[in-house]
Structure 1
Amino acid sequence: MQIATVPLEDRFVRLEPFTEDLRETMKAALDCDPAAWEIMVASAYGAHFEGWWGAALKAMGAGTRIAYAVRRLSDGAVVGTTSLYEIHPAYRRCEIGSTFYRPEARGGPVNPACKRLLLGHAFDAGAVRVEIITDAVNAQSQAAIRKLGAKAEGVLRKHKTTWTGRARDTAMFAVIDDDWPEVRDGLDRRLAAFG
């Protein structure tokens, strides 16, 4: 499995791998909704941005993460971020996460479009498993992941520590290569409904 660091695009979004040229645009896009950041493992709003940005670029340099700016094509605005991360070529697995969208980008085509692009990119590169994880207290995120077609695999207790110091239980979901055709078709139908 070799996942290329390239832009991904459909009719709703363009996912642009992080470069220094995107730094200020990303900083502005993520500097909102502090309450949503409270349950994240890492925070990227306000004064937290520089450390978060540096960690993302470092992981990209190590080949364990591809961090993307999410550009909404209807108006060209960068409305959030998402990543392929915990990339393990030997095990042919990775995760989708470190996802944050501005409030006005939630609930429409942005999230399913991003997930369709990321899952397709990973499976086309030879992945056999793509995990999508979230905080066990985040019922809205879990519902969105289930709606994508990912299978719930349980809760990992005290799996991560959030940036606020809270021991986080993690709800684990995954799509495996056997599931992908059905998940892909479901996402394509959802996206087609947006016109």
Structure 2
Amino acid sequence: MRIATVPLQDRFVRLEPFEDGLRDEVRAALDCDQAAWAIMVGPAWGEHFDGWWTAALAAMQAGTRIAYAVRRLSDGVVVGTTSLYEINPAYRRCEIGSTFYRPEARGGVINPACKRLLLGHAFEAGAVRVEIITDAINTQSQAAILKLGAKAEGVLRKHKITWTGRARDTAVFAVIDDDWPAVRDGLDRRLAAFA
């Protein structure tokens, strides 16, 4: 499995791998909704952005993450970020995460469009498993993940420590290669309804 660091695009979004020219647009997209950052593992708003950005680029350099700016094609605005990360070629697996969208970009076409692109990219590169994890207290995120077609696999207790010091339980979901054709078809039907 070798997942290429390339832009991904459909009718709704363009996922652009992080590079210096995107820094200010990504900063502007993330510098909002401080309450939402409270349950994230690491913050990226305000004074936290520079360290987060540097860590994302370092992980990209190491080959363990592809961080993307999410550009909404209807107006050309960067409305958030998402990543393929924890990339493990030996096990042919990765995760989708570090996802944050501006409030006005939530609940519509952006998330399913991004997930369709990311899942397709991973499976086309030879992945056999793509995980999507979230905080166990984030029921809205869990509902969105299930709606994508991922299967719930359980909760990892005290799996991560958030930037606020809370021991976080993590809800684990996954799509495996056997599931992908049905998940892909479901996402394609959802996206067709937005056209």
2:120 is equivalent to residue 117 of structure 1: no
List structure 1 runs of 4+ shifted beyond 3 angstroms.
none
Q: Which residue of 1 aligns with 2:25?
A: 25
SS in 2 for 1:15: strand
Q: Which residue of 2 aligns with 1:57?
A: 57
Quote the offset at 1:101 in angstroms.
0.2
**Structure 2: distance between partners of 1:23 and 1:73:** 18
Aligned ranges 1:1-150 → 2 under 5 Å: 1-150=1-150
Q: Which residue of 2 aligns with 1:183?
A: 183
**Structure 1: distance between partners of 2:120 and 2:35:** 31
Quote the offset at 1:41 in angstroms.
0.5
Sequence identity, in percent?
84
**C-alpha RMSD over aligned residues:** 0.3
2:178 is equivalent to residue 173 of structure 1: no
| Residue type at the aligned position of 1:111 | N
**Structure 2: distance between partners of 1:155 and 1:40:** 16
SS in 1 for 2:81: strand
**Structure 2: distance between partners of 1:73 and 1:133:** 27
TM-score (normalised: structure 2):
1.00
**Structure 2: distance between partners of 1:81 and 1:42:** 14
SS in 1 for 2:99: strand
Q: Give 5+ residue unaligned stretches, structure 2.
A: none
SS in 1 for 2:82: strand
